[in-house]
Structure 1
Amino acid sequence: MIVDDEPMQIQGLVRHISWKALGYEEPLTAQSGKEALAILRETPVDVLITDVSMPGMTGIELLARCKADYPALQSMQTVMISGYDEFEFVQEAIHLGAKAYVLKPVRTEELEMKLAGFREVYEKKKQIEQETALLKEKVTESYEVLQERFVKDMIEGWIHSDELLESWRRLLDLPGGEWQTSLFLFGYDRLFRDNPHDAKERIMYSEGLLNCVKLGLAGFSTAYIGKTGADELAVIVLNATPLARARLEKQLTFIQDILREQYTASVTVGISRECRSWTEIPLLYKEVRHMMSGARLAGYGQILYFDQSLMNEYQDFRLREEYIPEIVKLLDSGQSEKAAAYFNHAFEMLLAREPVSFSYVQAFGMGLLSELARKTKRLQETDTEMNILMWQRLIDCTGVNEVRKVVLEYLAQYAKLSQGEQVVQQHNLIQRVARQLEERLQENITVKQLAEQFHLNHSYLSVLFKKEMGRTISDFTQEARMNKAKELLRDPNIKVYEVAEQVGFQTAAYFTFLFKKTTGTTPQEFRDYHY
Structure 2
Amino acid sequence: QDSIDGGYTGPSKDEQRRLELISLLSGNLQQPTMLASTPFPLVLVVLRPVDETQVNKRYAEEPESIMRLTIDLLRQCCTTSSVYGVFALSINRYLVLLDTDVDHKALMGDFLRSSTMYLDLMFEYRVSAALSCWEEVQKEYQTIENNFAPVSRMVLRARRFIQEHYADASVDLPTIAKAVQVSKNHLSSEFSKETGQSLSNYLSCVRVERAIQLLEQTNLLTYEVAEAVGFKNTETFARMFKKITGKTPRNYH
Q: Which TM-score applies when normalising by structure 2?
A: 0.50
Is 1:230 paired with 2:86?
no
Partner in structure 1 of residue 115 of structure 2: 259
Structure 1 residues 313-348: Cα deviation after superposition (integer angstroms, max 9, x where no partner): xxxxxxxxxxxxxxxxxxxxxxxxxxxxxxxxxxxx
Any residues of structure 2 matched to 1:1-150 within 5 Å, and which?
135=9, 142-150=12-20
State the Cα RMSD in Å: 3.7
Partner in structure 2 of residue 211 of structure 1: 72
1:251 Cα deviation from its structure 2 partner: 1.2
Any residues of structure 2 matched to 1:341-352 within 5 Å, and which?
none
Q: Say which of 178, 191, 197 aligns to 1:298.
A: 191
Partner in structure 1 of residue 27 of structure 2: 157
Structure 1 residues 60-84: Cα deviation after superposition (integer angstroms, max 9, x where no partner): xxxxxxxxxxxxxxxxxxxxxxxxx
1:194 Cα deviation from its structure 2 partner: 8.6
Report the residue type matching 1:298 in the other structure: F
Is 1:271 paired with 2:118?
no
Task: Answer yes or no: is the 8 Å Cα contact 1:272–1:284 preserved in 2.
Answer: yes
Question: Which segments of 5 or more consecutive residues in structure 2 lack a partner in the other structure?
Answer: 153-189, 198-253
Any residues of structure 2 matched to 1:357-372 within 5 Å, and which?
none
Partner in structure 2 of residue 174 of structure 1: 38
Question: Helix, strand or coil for the counterpart of 1:185?
Answer: strand
Task: Answer yes or no: is the 8 Å Cα contact 1:185–1:232 preserved in 2.
Answer: yes
Partner in structure 2 of residue 282 of structure 1: 138
Greater share of helix: 1
Question: Helix, strand or coil for the counterpart of 2:121?
Answer: coil
Question: Helix, strand or coil for the counterpart of 2:125?
Answer: strand
Any residues of structure 2 matched to 1:496-507 within 5 Å, and which?
none
Partner in structure 2 of residue 188 of structure 1: 49
Any residues of structure 2 matched to 1:456-467 within 5 Å, and which?
none
Question: Helix, strand or coil for the counterpart of 1:268?
Answer: strand
Cα distance in 2 between the residues matched to 1:263 and 1:197: 11
Partner in structure 1 of residue 186 of structure 2: none
Q: 1:196 to 1:203 in 2, by over 3 A?
A: same
Task: Answer yes or no: is the 8 Å Cα contact 2:47–2:93 preserved in 1.
Answer: yes
Cα distance in 1 between the residues matched to 2:67 and 2:93: 8
Cα distance in 1 between the residues matched to 2:116 and 2:194: 9
Partner in structure 1 of residue 243 of structure 2: none
Structure 1 residues 465-514: Cα deviation after superposition (integer angstroms, max 9, x where no partner): xxxxxxxxxxxxxxxxxxxxxxxxxxxxxxxxxxxxxxxxxxxxxxxxxx
Cα distance in 2 between the residues matched to 1:154 and 1:215: 26
Cα distance in 2 between the residues matched to 1:194 and 1:145: 22
Is 1:199 paired with 2:65?
no
Task: Answer yes or no: is the 8 Å Cα contact 2:47–2:124 preserved in 1.
Answer: yes
Question: Helix, strand or coil for the counterpart of 2:129?
Answer: coil
Structure 1 residues 429-474: Cα deviation after superposition (integer angstroms, max 9, x where no partner): xxxxxxxxxxxxxxxxxxxxxxxxxxxxxxxxxxxxxxxxxxxxxx
Cα distance in 2 between the residues matched to 1:205 and 1:300: 29
- What is the number of equivalent residue pairs in this alignment? 157
Cα distance in 2 between the residues matched to 1:252 and 1:271: 10
Cα distance in 2 between the residues matched to 1:196 and 1:303: 27
Whose RCO is larger (CA < 8 A, sep 6+)? 2
Cα distance in 1 between the residues matched to 2:16 and 2:81: 17
Report the residue type matching 2:67 in the other structure: S
Q: 1:221 to 1:147 in 2, by over 3 A?
A: farther
Q: 1:228 to 1:198 in 2, by over 3 A?
A: closer
Give the % identical residues: 9
Cα distance in 2 between the residues matched to 1:302 and 1:218: 28
